[in-house]
Structure 1
Amino acid sequence: MGNQTEDGYNKALALLYDCVTPDGFVASTSKKDNYRRIWGRDGTIISLAAILTGDVNLIGTAQRTFETLAAYQGPHGEIPSNVDTVTKRISYGGTTGRVDADLWFIIGCGEYWLATGDDEFLERLLPAIEKVRFLLGAWEFNNRGLIYVPLTGDWADEYLHNGYVFYDQLLYLQAQRTLARMDAAVHGSSDHALNEKTSHLRHLLRANYWFDDAQKPPADVYHEVLYEKGRAAASSHCAGNHWMSFFSPAGYGYRFDAFANVLASLLDVADDAQRSKMDAFIVGEVIHDELPLLPAFHPVIKPVDEDWEDLQVMFSYTFKNKPYEFHNGGLWPMVTGFYVADLARRQQTEEARKYLQAIHRANALVMDGEAWGFPEFVHGRKFTPGGTRHQGWSAAAAIIGHHALEGQHVFRINDDET
């Protein structure tokens, strides 16, 4: 097992090096589609792993990743979903923009700055960061604390969730914490209004996305009637087991969003009782012992389900979300890497090691006749590799998990330090 762990880490590190370019990290060394570009979301997650390695060259590439994204920022503050620096082709998203690219950018800039003490970087990037901050405030629309995310507006860009998506709100919370930390460093004192906004957002998340059996709705409920309708519908299958994935004017989403649930724990929105419920749900309902990796969403949407009709037309070029594939029940090393970080942080070392081993096994799968394919996802039933190979953030998952088990934190910025 020790050899597999060491081999898995070294192979992941080598792929991170392969993703290095003069302009930052590309999402994949594969030339398929637009993966060989600098991405806001992928680039940040790979950079978070790079920072943990302590490797000067990789950390320097993280810096260039953020500088490139800032250089191609849109006129209103939009951070590119991806950019090809050779052809100068910029995408801010497909049919809608990618909200989480902007959120990850702020988080990544803050983590790089804090890890390196590079104040000159912060000074250079601050105008771009402030433009993103203003844009995110505008995306609240009603100025009530939560960002409204359109269909296809984040990493689950061909999946059925929209509105006040929990995953994006959690990133918004971490972005606010990061902004507060930066602001305090620049001005020499805390911005009380920003700290209040951050605290209020955490209360909103705790109040609106976890259903329990309390007699009255929480004080910070966003819309009381919508909340009560959502809680009544959730009570039979998921209330009290995991966080809700989103709500919108049309109601709540009830599928298990693995990335959001992990982030809720990792970013200290969840309390210990909620963490225990989530862990139990994952073990009892979600993972397979054969290859314990987290799916993007659970349960799978199948042709017999009422959501299937909508899902099967939700694609840009070709339909990827067949049952147990891609976001529809596909298993993701990247998401699992953050769960390893969360478990390790909670001193659940044996569980963390189990999931890290699964990441290494997934990354080692053969693709196009070559071992160590680092697939984008793994089929949720056949355990075969899927998506694009040589995926940088699948390598990042192995690195994040490895360093988490050594006591390092993927997010250094938290409420205690703002």
Structure 2
Amino acid sequence: MKAYTISGEVEQAMQAAIAVLQHNRRGPYNGLPRTAGWGYPEPYTRDLVFTFFGIAVSGDEQLIGSMRKVLETLASNQTIHGHIPSLVHDGENLGASDTTPLFLVGISIYRQLTGEKDFLQEAVVKSLSWLAHQSPSDRLLVAQLPTTDWRDEQWVLGYGLYVNTLVYACLRMFDEHERADDFLQEMRHFTITSNVMNRHVHEGLTVKNKPYYAFWSFKVYSSERFDLLGNSLAILTGIASPSRAERMIAWIEEECRVMREKGELAADLPPNFFPFVQPGDPDWRSRDEQFNKPGDYHNGGIWPFICGVYVAALVAAGKYQLAEKKLLALTALVKAVNAQQLDYGFNEWLHAQDALPKGQNWQSWSAALYIYAVKCVAERRTPFFEEMRKKSSREK
């Protein structure tokens, strides 16, 4: 297999990403890492756990030590039922749907990295129990309320794809393989397209005649808009079979080509969500006019951390040349800076139609997922997820 040689440009961006994480390693809240260099001093749980993907492959012992501090602090602030708060240091800041499965994913990555097989085992048991009680139908797919995952300005109602990919990853990572196999079967159920729901029919997240998974589904309602993070995680974890992954990637690239032709997309990387919700659409909400216009933020903004996961998904699918191409596009993208004098912005998100940065600079997860993407492309493997895909493939 031909190896990928990291260019000087990519190596320079890698070192800049590590410098960002070092800068953000200690913040004003109990010495915990900050979420961004200046704009977000708080230690947001989901952001920091996503940084583990890159920190764990960086080889930087100080950053790896910060992983342990984050996880131990989260465990100390875990609720009696096993729920993990949205802010690492604040046990009262609750209500997120993705923090608990992310906590479990983070522990698994740390265990794989260090060999500490029983690290925070009591907290693991409690969080797995909490997840087992999040299905209103008392099955396996977990449900959520709107704005409770990373999209605080977008509605996901019921069984969201992104959160359920994380739950599936947790089941595999903690050897709950029988439940994971059953979980895959539930995800393969189609979304319900009839206005009448048979009591023996259970909704899933598979979309008829489309290669990707639904954004969310609940009873007779669903959204078939495309969620890049959820579908990339579906490929990375093995939820999507190799054939489905190949068809999905071809579909994504073709849709992005069309968007570029229409002037809806300025970068050679996918938006986080499309087609964009437009004023007058049934899922358009009044707040969107201020916070979530088409091509902005959660409504189709380009998020570097999600693009990093997409690059990893391309590697997982064996699309090495395409992954190399998208890594170079991401390398150009992370230079964009919003209103500061910096060589690399590692910005939070960029406007889809012109690729101008609109969020905070030196975002920790933007830097960390860049590092992870480089590692995946360079080694043509996806650390921490290789065995999971092998286990998933047995169930296909």
Q: Note the C-alpha offset of 1:145.
A: 0.9
Distance 1:63 1:23 in 2: 13
Whether 2:44 is the aligned partner of 1:39: answer yes
In the alignment, what sits opposite 2:169? Answer: 174
Residues 312-332 of structure 1, C-alpha deviation per residue, up to 9 Å, x if partnerless?
337xxx942111110101011
Distance 1:395 1:339 in 2: 15
- Map 1:394-405 → 2, pairs under 5 A: 394-405=366-377
Aligned match of 1:301 in 264, 277, 284? 277
- Map 1:3-152 → 2, pairs under 5 A: 3-21=8-26, 23-30=31-38, 32=39, 35-83=40-88, 85=89, 90-92=92-94, 97-119=95-117, 122-123=118-119, 125-152=120-147
Q: Note the C-alpha offset of 1:226.
A: 6.0
What's the TM-score, normalizing by structure 1?
0.82
- Residue 321 of structure 1 aligns to which amino acid in structure 2? N
- Residue 268 of structure 1 aligns to which amino acid in structure 2? G
- Map 1:274-293 → 2, pairs under 5 A: 274-286=244-256, 288=260, 290-293=266-269
In the alignment, what sits opposite 1:191? Answer: none
- Map 1:304-343 → 2, pairs under 5 A: 304-308=280-284, 310=285, 312-313=286-287, 319-343=290-314
CA RMSD across the alignment: 2.6
Distance 1:148 1:132 in 2: 16
- Map 1:348-363 → 2, pairs under 5 A: 348-363=319-334
Q: Note the C-alpha offset of 1:144.
A: 0.9
Distance 2:355 2:293 in 1: 14
In the alignment, what sits opposite 1:195? Answer: 177
Q: Note the C-alpha offset of 1:369.
A: 3.0
Q: Note the C-alpha offset of 1:268.
A: 0.8
Asked if the contact 2:192–2:221 (Cα under 8 Å) also holds between the matched residues in 1, the reply is no
Aligned match of 2:226 in 241, 256, 261? 256
Whether 2:186 is the aligned partner of 1:204: answer yes
In the alignment, what sits opposite 1:385? Answer: 357
Distance 2:363 2:199 in 1: 38
SS in 1 for 2:188: helix
In the alignment, what sits opposite 2:201? Answer: 224
Identity over aligned residues, as a percent? 27
Residues 231-272 of structure 1, C-alpha deviation per residue, up to 9 Å, x if partnerless?
9xx76xxx3232111111341211011111111111111122
What's the TM-score, normalizing by structure 2?
0.86
Residues 316-350 of structure 1, C-alpha deviation per residue, up to 9 Å, x if partnerless?
xx942111110101011111101111212333222
Q: Note the C-alpha offset of 1:305.
A: 2.2
Whether 2:235 is the aligned partner of 1:265: answer yes
Distance 1:292 1:226 in 2: 34
Q: Note the C-alpha offset of 1:89.
A: 7.5
Q: Note the C-alpha offset of 1:90.
A: 4.6
Asked if the contact 1:359–1:397 (Cα under 8 Å) also holds between the matched residues in 2, the reply is no
Q: Note the C-alpha offset of 1:127.
A: 1.5
SS in 2 for 1:156: coil
Which runs of no fewer than 5 residues in structure 2 stay unpaired?
1-5
In the alignment, what sits opposite 2:211? Answer: 241
In the alignment, what sits opposite 2:3? Answer: none
Asked if the contact 1:166–1:245 (Cα under 8 Å) also holds between the matched residues in 2, the reply is yes
Aligned match of 2:153 in 154, 158, 164? 158
Q: Note the C-alpha offset of 1:73.
A: 1.6
Distance 2:234 2:159 in 1: 15
Q: Note the C-alpha offset of 1:24.
A: 4.1
Distance 1:89 1:241 in 2: 40
Q: Note the C-alpha offset of 1:66.
A: 0.8
Distance 2:202 2:188 in 1: 17
In the alignment, what sits opposite 1:216? Answer: none
